[in-house]
Amino acid sequence: MDICSCVAVVCVFTVMWKLSEGREAGRWPPAHGTLVLVLVWVLVWVLVYTVSPVLCGLVLLSCSLRLICVWRRSELLPEQNRAVLITGCDSGFGHALAQRLSHGRVTVFAGVLDVNGPGAQRLRRVASDHLRVLQLDVTDRDQVEAARRDIGSQVGHTGLWGLVNNAGILHCPMDAELLPLAACRRCLDVNFLSAVNMCQVFLPLLRRAGGRIVNVSSMAAAVPMPMFSSYAASKAALSLFSHVLRLEVKLWNVTVALIQPAGFRTNIFGTSDDIRRHKDEILAAASSEAREDYGESYISSVTSSLSKLSRDSSEDLSPVLDDLCHALLSVRPRVLYSPGQGAWLLPFLHRHCPTAVFDVVITTMTKFTDCEPTGLKRS
């Protein structure tokens, strides 16, 4: 056996021992990626070693180093003396993340849109002493500044370890021509500009701790999806901003991570009252020509698709929560996380498939109604 293979064997057995040690302590659940790498390691040894020992040794060494990186990323930092601010905790990802972190030793500041609403009341009932609920409408600069003063007085010189920009809105899937401009501005304000403002306001506290910013974007930021033009544009802006910010604040030992989940069942889809309100807004803002060409029946059928989107989305939020916790507490957090079914596959297809092929795939997947616009029926 050549020296490369010997080194690879030592590396792999060391990694396997560490993984076993982590599982016994309950710290590290085995990942699918690790299993694949182990299988590759075994197959390469069996199939290639008889052909080229040197090549086999190099490949095995590469796989072993990759396994070591996976193991290092599974290491978590101690939770005590760390404070995290999470926006959008009334429901969904923010609500669940605030509960999970507060049941550990992390001090959680949970920003909610309505401090007296049902989401805030649930947090107070089920969360631990490590959680504090804050009134925080991210579009209200006065509330953001009040939260900064409050949190700054509590964390002192230790600083703020984590900022999770989770607050976001979807509005309603609809053809770009029919989207009210006010709804587009609202999406940009909540999903992008408010996150930018939160970063600017809280970075002095984050620098003290050498902390982390975690921005919650969407798979729609990486894939052109019909009916999601304003939402996707706002999330794409947030994604690119996050990548640029990561390069800039690295000098201050501040880390930036981006979460781009697929569809999950949260309150972002709204209620039946929200759907009716969206329909009325769209009809009121559309020009007479657009209303005539699309027709009210088509608009109604598309707005009603929000209920179907919610039903078809995954109810299990744990993939997103696991990635959020990893981004906040891992020794080596990743730059980009893509939790959920199809969250990595669709961006991969968009990058590598011929445009015509991908267009067929994405339009088929995002066909929300069988009703055609009235103008197409006439033609």
Write the pLDDT tens digit of every residue in 219-273.
Answer: 999 999 998 999 999 999 999 999 999 999 999 999 999 999 998 888 777 677 7
pLDDT (mean) for 320-338: 95
270 Cβ neighbours under 8 A, 6+ residues apart: 170, 172, 278, 306
Amino acid code (one letter) for 291: R
30 Cβ neighbours under 8 A, 6+ residues apart: 19, 23
For each of the domains in the chain, give its residue range(s) and CATH number, in order of start: 3-74 (no CATH), 83-365 (3.40.50.720)
Beta strands in the chain (DSSP E): 83-86, 107-112, 131-135, 162-165, 212-216, 255-259, 336-337
Compute the distance between CA of residue 168 and CA of residue 93 in angstroms, rounded to an integer.
Answer: 11
Q: Above 80 in pLDDT, residue 198?
A: yes
* Catalytic (active-site) positions: 231
Write the pLDDT tens digit of every residue in 135-180.
Answer: 999 999 999 999 999 999 999 999 999 999 999 998 888 899 999 9
pLDDT at 202: 98
